Amino acid sequence: MRKPAEGRRRVMIEDVRPHVDCGRHPVKRALHDVVRVTASVFADGHDMVSARLLYRAEGDRAWKDVRMLHDGNDVWSASFQAESIGRYRYCVEGWVDDFASWRHDYVIRMAAGQDLGLALRSGGLLVKAAVSRARKADAARLRQYALQLRDQVELDISAMEEVGRLMDRYPDLRFATRSERELEIVVDRERAVFSSWYEMFPRSCAPVEGMHGTFRDCEALLPQIAAMGFDVLYLPPIHPIGASFRKGRNNFIEAASGDVGSPWAIGSSDGGHKSIHPQLGTLKDFQRLLAKAEDAGLEVALDIALQCSPDHPYVSEHAEWFRKRPDGSIQYAENPPKKYQDIYPLDFTTAAWRGLWDEVLSVFVYWIKQGVRIFRVDNPHTKAFPFWEWVIEEIKSKHPDVLFLAEAFTRPHVMYSLAKSGFSQSYTYFTWRNTKEELTEYLKELTQTEVNEFFRPNFWPNTPDILPGILQEGGSPAFVLRLILAATLSANYGIYGPVYELAVNVPQKPGGEEYLNSEKYELKHWHRDAPSSLAPLVTRLNQIRRGNKALQRNMGLHFHGINNDALICYSKASPDGSNVVLVVVNLSTVNTESGWTELDMEDLGLAAGERFRVIDMLDGNEYAWAGQWNYVQLTPEVRPAHIFLIERVTEGSSSVDEGSHVTDHAHAEGISQERS
């Protein structure tokens, strides 16, 4: 083994956190988040060590630095705030701090009444060496102290404090060690971590039944969707739909005349991924929709499905992007024995991959130029990971505000790897996690392991592809409880509407998850104002989410005990701990369930046995609670859940301070008014 270039770098730095796969992938944070970095920093012997955190935004040349503090057991920490979106880099630097060691020993020598002469002179040499590192005025002060110490003048406490401060300002970094690998963070805008999605088929928005809806028709619905409190309006693909092998209603193998086909069978003589389905409107109409949505506080998310109908212009213009069968025909999608002859997958193993990658990049860039900033990517797990890593970084380097939602429902490693490759948000298994045990285990994995550093869950209780069993069997109470769970467990959530508000739940086949008469294959006309609509509950939940910072992140999630497996109890706290929300949900769609909470008082910011007040933000009711054991009873259709704001009872005050949270009683009555 060769000797190192510098054998005097004695400080060891280990286990710098946060990191994803040893630094192979960036950690994710949101704008204004405080990034806390920890590391083990230590040296041989008894010398004192100092450490600092170095960080910089991608474009910056110079590192910023902040001193780390010793938290004990050789673990050090420091924090910085992410002040801009984009990439940051960080690393940790540690060094043997001779002056700190000297000062530490000096105090002991003094207390022991030892002769200080040589010790003072040693200190003087250290201070003198710092002079050349110091800026003007500081250098002068240091020179002064160096002379005093050389002359064995004992410094008083305040002088020692000052020289300590000055020496800290100009550490001797000649033999400092840096952590082995620079780590990265992707800082996204707030919507990456806190968003409420509404999925809607534009073609079903026509005011008249049987008409093909248009972007103009969508505009008319914007106020209603915004009033429910959503901030992302997600549209299935808006591109021309292929005619060859077009699927009929209920995914029938042959389309009847007049069948509109699936929006995911992209491409026709009208164009491909950069074109708009003529029946929806023009590019201008789309731009107008974007603008109107923005006025209403909604962002439009586009669906990017990287596959082609046999009629897609790519098929003739870029045959090299498709796989050929031995007979020279193009390979349609297959999952043997199933055949999907209406779909030609793009072949990411083509020798012409460079051209294909560039073209897909240009598709994203085209829509970004129109003003789109959020993409929901269809089946990203059937395209190569290196492609995603490249295309997302490429886009975000120029448009750091662009967000990507990965629509992958597949094996854990694959889902997590997509997130590591750059996706801002991800669909999850929430859709199939129903019991207390399932929910608790899954949420702990998502929020309390390293998964939380790179994978941002977006909870969907339904999608156009998935009508889960619990909604089929549980009816309206199931829709209510799944909605409450999604909206309070995950800071990002969404529903496919108005199917969800209207509790549509008839499957195509018993035991299957496809909707009967699915909107994927036909025009629908929805009665959005049906009296049974869950829109008031949706509205209330989104208000509660907006009014409570605790619900806008996942990190503060904590599960509490409750002695009934049909009840689940959890709390969320805002990063600064000032806002704490406690949720209890009845997981039964049929039975009244009751139980006693076993609250983790410390996690709620409460003392053991403390009296406190809980205000149910769903109905405005207040309760006086005390300690960890409190009685709860919940009844489907009447009161399926509590979403409590927790308030400490301040001395001499019996009224609840309602200044900072949402307890709009008028609204709160909404649910039972509407649903009973």
Catalytic position from the list 303, 359, 378, 513: 378
- Asked if residue 180 binds a second copy (CB under 8 A), the reply is yes
Partners of 70 in the beta sheet?
Answer: 76
Query: Which of these ranges, 188-196, 346-354, 500-508, 623-631, lies near a second copy under the rule CB under 8 A?
Result: 346-354
The CA R_g of the chain, rounded to the nearest whole Å, is: 30
Name the token pair of 330: 């193009």
- Asked if residue 14 binds a second copy (CB under 8 A), the reply is yes
Closest CA to 395 of 427, 424, 368: 368
Nearer to a second copy, 201 or 387 (CB): 387
Nearer to a second copy, 63 or 390 (CB): 390
Q: How far is CA 293 from CA 208, 313, 367, 375, in A?
A: 22, 31, 16, 16
Cβ distance 454 to 420 under 8 Å? Answer: yes
Query: How many residues interact with a second copy (rule CB under 8 A)?
Result: 65
CB 643, min distance to a second copy, A: 35
Nearer to a second copy, 152 or 672 (CB): 152
Partners of 611 in the beta sheet?
Answer: 626
- Asked if residue 12 binds a second copy (CB under 8 A), the reply is yes
Cβ distance 322 to 330 under 8 Å? Answer: yes
CB 191, min distance to a second copy, A: 23
Q: Per-residue x/- mask for a second copy, residues 358 to 387, rule CB under 8 A?
A: -----------------------xxxxxxx
Cβ distance 15 to 181 under 8 Å? Answer: no
Nearer to a second copy, 386 or 577 (CB): 386
CB 6, min distance to a second copy, A: 9
What is the Cα–Cα distance from 18 to 36, expressed in whole angstroms?
Answer: 8
CB 238, min distance to a second copy, A: 25
Nearer to a second copy, 27 or 618 (CB): 27
- Asked if residue 112 binds a second copy (CB under 8 A), the reply is yes
Query: Which of these ranges, 56-64, 119-127, 182-190, 644-652, lies near a second copy under the rule CB under 8 A?
Result: 119-127
Q: Exposed, middle or buried by CB within 10 Å (0-12, 13-18, 19+), for 384?
A: middle
- Asked if residue 353 binds a second copy (CB under 8 A), the reply is yes
- Asked if residue 96 binds a second copy (CB under 8 A), the reply is yes
Cβ distance 597 to 630 under 8 Å? Answer: yes
Sign of CA dihedral 218, 219, 222, 224: negative
**Running DSSP on this structure, what letter comes out for residue 400?**
T
Q: Per-residue x/- mask for a second copy, residues 390 to 429, rule CB under 8 A?
A: x--xx--x-------------xxxx--x------------
Cβ distance 388 to 422 under 8 Å? Answer: yes
Name the token pair of 91: 């690393």
Neighbours of 441 (CB within 10 A): 13
- Asked if residue 118 binds a second copy (CB under 8 A), the reply is yes
First CA to last CA distance, the chain: 79
- Asked if residue 349 binds a second copy (CB under 8 A), the reply is yes
- Asked if residue 77 binds a second copy (CB under 8 A), the reply is no
What is the Cα–Cα distance from 180 to 17, expressed in whole angstroms?
Answer: 13
What is the Cα–Cα distance from 372 to 367, expressed in whole angstroms?
Answer: 6
- Asked if residue 335 binds a second copy (CB under 8 A), the reply is yes
One of 32, 81, 140, 175 touching a second copy (CB under 8 A) = 175
CB 444, min distance to a second copy, A: 18
- Asked if residue 336 binds a second copy (CB under 8 A), the reply is yes
Cβ distance 454 to 560 under 8 Å? Answer: no
Look up 358 and say whether it is catalytic.
no
- Asked if residue 337 binds a second copy (CB under 8 A), the reply is yes
CB 20, min distance to a second copy, A: 10
What is the Cα–Cα distance from 94 to 11, expressed in whole angstroms?
Answer: 6
CB 67, min distance to a second copy, A: 20
Catalytic position from the list 407, 453, 522, 619: 407
DSSP string covering 246-298: ---GGG-SSPPTT----TTSB-BTTBSTTS--GGG--HHHHHHHHHHHHHTT-
Residues from 43 through 62 that contact a second copy (CB under 8 A)? 43-46
Closest CA to 377 of 303, 271, 293, 479: 303
CB 48, min distance to a second copy, A: 13
What is the Cα–Cα distance from 632 to 629, expressed in whole angstroms?
Answer: 10
CB 9, min distance to a second copy, A: 6
Look up 378 and say whether it is catalytic.
yes
Residue ranges binding a second copy (CB under 8 A): 1, 3-4, 7-10, 12, 14-15, 21-24, 40, 42-46, 73-74, 96, 105, 108-109, 111-112, 114, 118, 121-122, 124-125, 175, 180, 325-327, 334-337, 348-349, 353-354, 357, 381-387, 389-390, 393-394, 397, 411-414, 417
Residues serving a catalytic function are 378, 407
